[in-house]
Amino acid sequence: MLDTRASTPKKEWKFADLIADPAVNERWRKVRKYFFLRESTYDMTNRCNIRCEGCYYYEGEKQFAAENTDPDAWRQLMTAEKARGITFVVLAGAEPSLVPDLCQACFEVIPLGAIATNGLKRIPGAVGYKIHVSVWGNDATSQTVRKARNLLHRQIENYRGDERAVFVYTFTRHNITEAPAVAERLVAEDCRLTFNMFSAPVGYAGDLRHTPASLVKVRETMTTLLRQYPRHVLYSTYNAAAHTHTKGLHELYTCPYPRCNPSEALGLGRSFRQYHTDLTWDRAAACCVPDTDCPDCRHYAAGSAIVTSKLFRHAVDPDTFQSWLDYVDTYLAVWVNGYRKGPNLCDHYVDPPEAQRSAAETAPRSSS
Amino acid sequence: MAKELDKIIVHVAEIMINELKLEDVTPENFDPEMDLVDEVGIDSMDLATVALVLRDAYSVRIDEDDYPKLTNIRLIAEYIHRKLAA
């Protein structure tokens, strides 16, 4: 009996060889210019103009924090954030469009960032952040899950032709078949879109949570839409592979957010904070989607930081490294105003490194 | 042995200067005790990039879990030196 794994070791690639190809080298140089980005997130108000099933904001204690509505206080916070090295802000919960003056105050101090919004109220153009407009299916589904009438139509009216806007389609277990029609409509309006995965909040008992079967179906749908609309869909096959794996992001990549990472030495564990509306923060709860059930987390915002930060473990072979580059290129196009995504370098599925490792460990040993 | 370590220290400094485009410092005058995060301003992605170039140079893998312990050039050089000797 021979163990063929032992006799055919995987080639160990040098990093210099991985970036030797001119197209890969160009992409590497393009994305590494943004390694200076250091993010934190901020709940802007505890109000929202709709109520969505499974909304992470209205879970846990943060929803009860008092609102600080003073733009000067926000300017001071941003100045302090800048001083401790934060270069990128994510303005989220509950609905930032309801406090445009606070968004403006943040933008005046830290000019790189993104806002998560339901898109019902347009955020003034002077706020030059990327705008993420959340879409949860067609209008009938939005009416059911978000209690909002004609939502997609109103979102498009507000953000058609707006370079800041990216429509973020959140796949739940039940809206997968609606995605092609929604994508077609957004593309017809020349809107850009990307994908998110419903990730259950802690204690969530509803039926939007994904199953192994729904993950497979979502992956196929994402890939079809990416190939159908490569100019409008900001995504890559590796994004699809990473976010639809049966293992969640935490298990696949080891989440570096403070909530899961006790080290304060460097990276997100050192600098990331998630501020509540009263401008306080709690390290024990800090991640970009607090109150999400970590094992179920496949959230696009979480992945944008988690997968991107794992450069070293992706620099193992050309396919895996190029997939990582596609992921980072996608991340920057979705989150940084003015960044233009290039064509994907790898068009086939590559498993995340942890999945490759466990597959190799469990593969049957060939014998002769 | 001390000489070997000194050589690695200078080489790590050289790689760091080249990769991170650090200015006003040379491999010879880069203080190996200087805190890379607090004083030089590098972060995890910078360190990962340097780790990849060091992997090419020494065939030594610097595990991601070890990054937080490698807070200055001397510690990185000692880490490599130990792995080479193992």
DSSP string covering A179-215:
HHHHHHHHHHTT--EEEEE--PBTT--SS-S--HHHH
Residues 40-79 of B with CB under 8 A from A: 41, 43-49, 51-53, 55-56, 62, 64, 67-69, 71
Which backbone phi and psi does B50 adopt, to 5 degrees?
Answer: -65, -40
Tell which wins on pLDDT, A337 or A265. A337
pLDDT greater than 70 at residue A2 = no
Residue A289: predicted pLDDT: 77
- The per-residue pLDDT for B38 is 86
Mean pLDDT within A222-251: 96
What is the identity of the amino acid at A31?
V
pLDDT digits (tens, 9 = 90+) for B26-77: 999 999 999 998 888 888 899 999 999 999 999 999 988 888 889 999 999 9
**Separation CA B37–CA B71 (nearest Å):** 7
Looking at residue A64, its pLDDT comes to 82
How does pLDDT run across A292-319, given as a tens digit for each residue? Answer: 888 899 999 988 888 999 999 999 999 9
Number of domains in chain B: 1
Distance from CA of A82 to the nearest CA of B (A): 14
* Nearest-neighbour CA in chain B from A158: distance (Å): 37
- Record: contact A14-B56, CB cut-off 8 A: yes
User: Stretch A334-353: mean pLDDT, rounded?
Assistant: 96
- Nearest CB neighbour to B44, from listed A14, A309, A315: A309
Give the CATH number of the domain where residue B20 resides: 1.10.1200.10
Q: Are strands A39-43 and A113-117 parallel, antiparallel or unpaired?
A: unpaired
**ipTM of this complex:** 0.91
- Contact call for residues A249 and A240 (beta carbons, < 8 A): no
Bin A105: left if φ > 0, else alpha if -120 < ψ < 50, else beta.
Answer: alpha
Give the pLDDT of residue A3: 43
A10 in reach of chain B (CB within 8 A):
no
pLDDT at A365: 58
Asked if the Cβ–Cβ distance from A309 to B67 is below 8 Å, we say: no
Contact criterion met (CB below 8 Å) for A24 and A322: yes
In chain B, residues with a C-beta closer than 8 Å to the C-beta of A85 are 41
pLDDT over threshold 90, residue B84: yes
Nearest to A266 among B52, B62, B68 (CB): B68
- Of residues A270 and B58, the one with the higher pLDDT is B58
Instruction: Give Cα separations from A92 to A142, A203, B82 (angstroms).
Output: 20, 21, 46
Find the domain containing B38 and state its range.
Answer: 2-85
* B:6-35 residues touching chain A, CB 8 A cutoff: none
**In this predicted model, which residue has the larger pLDDT, B23 or A222?**
A222
Higher pLDDT, A83 or A50: A83
Measure in Å the smallest separation between the Cα of A42 and chain B Cα atoms.
Answer: 22
- The pLDDT confidence band at residue A287, using thresholds 50, 70 and 90, is confident
Q: Is the pLDDT of residue A1 over 50?
A: no
Closest to B42 (Cα-Cα) out of B74, B7, B16, B64? B16
> Which residues, other chains included, contact A310 with Cβ-Cβ below 8 Å and sequence gap of 6+?
A253, A324, A353, B64
8 Å CB contact of B56 and A16: yes
Q: What are the pLDDT digits (tens) for A32-71?
A: 999 999 999 999 999 888 877 767 677 777 788 889 999 9
Judge whether residue A96 has pLDDT over 50.
yes
Compute the distance between CA of residue A292 and CA of residue A226 in angstroms, rounded to an integer.
27
Walk me through the domains of chain A, giving residue ranges and CATH numbers: 37-312 (3.20.20.70)
Q: Which residues contact A96 (CB under 8 A, 6 or more apart)?
A: A44, A45, A102, A103, A115, A116, A117, A123
pLDDT score for A147: 79
Question: Are the Cβ atoms of A32 and B52 closer than 8 angstroms?
Answer: no
Q: Is A1 on the interface with B (CB under 8 A)?
A: no
Q: Which two tokens stand for residue A234?
A: 């900001």
Full strand arrangement of the beta sheet holding A113-117: A193-197, A165-171, A130-135, A113-117, A88-92, A39-43, A274-275
- Touching B: A residues 34-53, CB under 8 Å: 35, 38
DSSP string covering A267-333? THHHH--EE-TTS-B-GGG-SSSTTB-GGG---HHHHHHHTTT-HHHHTTSHHHHHHHHHHHHHHHH
Task: Check residue A367 and give its pLDDT.
Answer: 46
- Residue A277 and residue A68 in contact, taking contact as beta carbons nearer than 8 Å: yes
Share of chain A above pLDDT 90, in %: 69
Average pLDDT over all residues of chain A = 90
Give the pLDDT band of residue A4 (cuts 50, 70, 90). Answer: very low
Task: Count the Cβ atoms, other than its own, within 10 Å of residue A284.
Answer: 8
CB pairs under 8 A between A and B: 51
Tell me what the mean pLDDT of segment A91-110 comes to: 96
Nearest to A303 by CA among A212, A219, A196: A196
Query: Mean pLDDT across the stretch A155-170?
Result: 96
Q: Is it the case that residue B19 has pLDDT exceeding 90?
A: yes
What is the mean pLDDT of the segment spanning A164-182? Answer: 96
Mean pLDDT of A88-114: 96
Task: Identify from B43, B47, B56 which residue to disrupt to test chain A contact, counting A C-beta atoms within 10 A and taking the largest count.
Answer: B43
Residue A16, chain B, CB below 8 Å: the answer is: yes
Joined together, the tokens standing for residue A168 give: 């973020």
CA distance A187 to A167: 11
- At residue A318, the pLDDT reads 97
**What is the predicted pLDDT for the residue at A325?**
98
| Cα B53 from Cα A227, distance rounded (Å) | 35
